[in-house]
């Protein structure tokens, strides 16, 4: 690692700010407690940026998405003993480029960003850009995926990279529809399309006619968790595209993350069961005031029961009852998300290139 010090005033901090920069090639050089405490104070706080998630993502290189030769290149900013910013990055070298990406890129982490309070970001991102521009290893490109549209990082990246003489391109990468939840179930239903409201009620009534054979539940027993994860994988595999996605290394990656999330209290793995058989499953993160929908799986032999819609309806109702403010479908613009009342959002892609 090496160090730089800045006294550059910030647009958000008009007083002079001192910040020391360090570069880490081992994630354990920053403690879990320091990392997660900073995340809790950051502008964007999502489970994909927690230390435990990114450590496991790195251990498996995103389930095989990235080569083992990739190198950690985490940049941290310190105000004395206080950790004030983390750029969770790694480098990938090819014959033509030496590029930096966010840890978590690209496939399995829906939201990524710099870990930094809003009032420190101007100084920190400026220092990160200057550090990369001056890097003796000739890093020549940053490819930063899945930055939430609302993040101030986007404007700051454009400002500081342009000042440094780098090319900047920022564009929409994917839709991220989410439902802003009402105070109660009836108010939620009243706020969505009339035809969809009728369909939800009809399908729930049909499921409730079979109360002896149709049940839903959220996994809560640690001793059964791995078996339930296996059952969820089996449901995913009924879709050919998801079956191809679930390589052995990706399975190991996901199992590691799901066990971590369960231990930390973030995992919401749920199933709809019909006649003792799992007909649908949803894998979500229950994080602060949001439910984040990560993946799903269905047994198409139960299609007559519309198990996906039924389970999703129960999950939205449960989210309302437990005081959640948003039901976030994250990446993907599948039609059903909007039918359930989701409002569109986006994650962005920022590419910064050495001229």
Give me the helices (H) in 164-213, please: 185-190, 194-208
pLDDT at 6: 46
Dist. CA 192–CA 169, nearest whole Å: 36
DSSP assignment letter at 29: G
pLDDT at 136: 58
Shortest CA distance to 51 belongs to which of 14, 26, 71, 69? 26
Distance between CA atoms of residues 217 and 238, nearest Å: 21
Residue ranges in the chain whose pLDDT is less than 50: 1-16
CA distances from 92 to 22, 61, 70, 98 (A): 20, 11, 5, 6
Which H or E run contains 252? helix 248-264
| Cα–Cα distances in angstroms (integers) from residue 335 to residues 199, 260, 340, in the given order | 15, 31, 9
Measured CA distances, 312 to 179, 283, 295 (Å): 12, 11, 12
Q: What is the pTM of this model?
A: 0.93
Say if strands 3-6 and 74-79 run parallel, antiparallel, or are unpaired: unpaired
Same fold for the domain at 3-175+347-353 and the one at 178-328? Answer: yes
pLDDT at 355: 85
pLDDT tens digits, 77-87: 999 999 999 99
Q: Are strands 267-274 and 277-287 parallel, antiparallel or unpaired?
A: antiparallel
Class of 178-328 in CATH: alpha beta
In angstroms, what CA-CA distances link 290 with 29, 110, 286, 318? Answer: 30, 14, 6, 12
From the list 119, 205, 179, the residue with the least C-alpha distance to 339 is: 179
- Ranges of each domain in the chain: 3-175+347-353, 178-328
318-349 as b/e: b if 16+ CB within 10 A: bbbeeebbbbbbbbeeeeebbbbbbeebbbbb
Please tell me the CATH superfamily of domain 3-175+347-353, with its number: Gcn5-related N-acetyltransferase (GNAT) (3.40.630.30)
Report the alpha-carbon distance of residue 85 to residue 101 in Å, rounded.
17
CA separation (Å) from 191 to 183, 188, 233, 342, 351?
Answer: 11, 5, 34, 11, 38
First and final CA of the chain: distance in angstroms? 26
Q: Which residues contact 222 (CB under 8 A, 6 or more apart)?
A: 262
Torsion region of 165: left, alpha or beta (phi above 0 gives left; psi -120 to 50 gives alpha): left
For residue 277, the cross-strand partners are 274
| Cα–Cα distance, 133 to 21 (Å, whole number) | 14
Distance CA 229, CA 254 (A): 9
Looking at residue 207, what is its pLDDT? Answer: 83
């Amino acid at each position: 690692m090496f160090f730089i010090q800045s006294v550059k005033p910030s647009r958000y901090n008009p007083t002079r700010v001192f910040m020391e920069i360090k570069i880490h090639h081992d994630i354990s050089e920053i403690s879990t407690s320091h990392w997660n405490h900073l995340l809790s104070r950051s502008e964007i706080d999502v489970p994909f940026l927690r230390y435990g998630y990114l450590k496991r993502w790195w251990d498996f290189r995103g389930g095989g998405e990235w080569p083992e030769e990739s190198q950690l290149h985490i940049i941290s900013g310190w105000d004395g003993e206080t950790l004030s910013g983390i750029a969770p990055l790694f480098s990938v070298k090819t014959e033509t480029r030496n590029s930096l990406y966010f840890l978590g890129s690209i496939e399995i982490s829906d939201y990524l960003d710099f870990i930094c309070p809003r009032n420190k970001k101007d100084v920190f991102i400026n220092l990160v850009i200057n550090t990369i521009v001056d890097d003796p290893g000739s890093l020549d490109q940053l490819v930063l995926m899945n930055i939430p549209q609302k993040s101030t990082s986007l404007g700051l990246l454009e400002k500081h990279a342009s000042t440094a003489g780098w090319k900047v391109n920022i564009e929409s990468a994917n839709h991220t529809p989410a439902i802003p939840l009402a105070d109660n179930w009836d108010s939620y239903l009243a706020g969505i399309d009339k035809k969809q409201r009728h369909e939800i009620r009809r399908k729930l009534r049909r499921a409730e006619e079979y109360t002896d054979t149709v049940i839903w539940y959220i996994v809560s027993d640690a001793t059964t968790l791995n078996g339930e994860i296996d059952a969820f994988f089996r449901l995913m595999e009924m879709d050919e595209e998801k079956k191809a996605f679930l390589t052995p290394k990706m399975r190991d990656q996901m199992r590691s993350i799901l066990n971590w999330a369960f231990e930390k209290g973030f995992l919401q793995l749920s199933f709809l069961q019909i006649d003792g058989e799992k007909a649908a499953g949803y894998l979500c993160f229950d994080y602060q005031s949001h439910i984040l929908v990560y993946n799903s799986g269905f047994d198409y032999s139960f299609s007559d029961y519309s198990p996906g819609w039924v389970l999703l309806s129960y999950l939205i109702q449960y989210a309302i009852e437990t005081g959640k403010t948003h039901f976030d479908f994250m990446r993907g613009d599948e039609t059903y998300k909007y039918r359930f009342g989701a409002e569109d959002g986006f994650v962005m892609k920022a590419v910064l290139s050495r001229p």
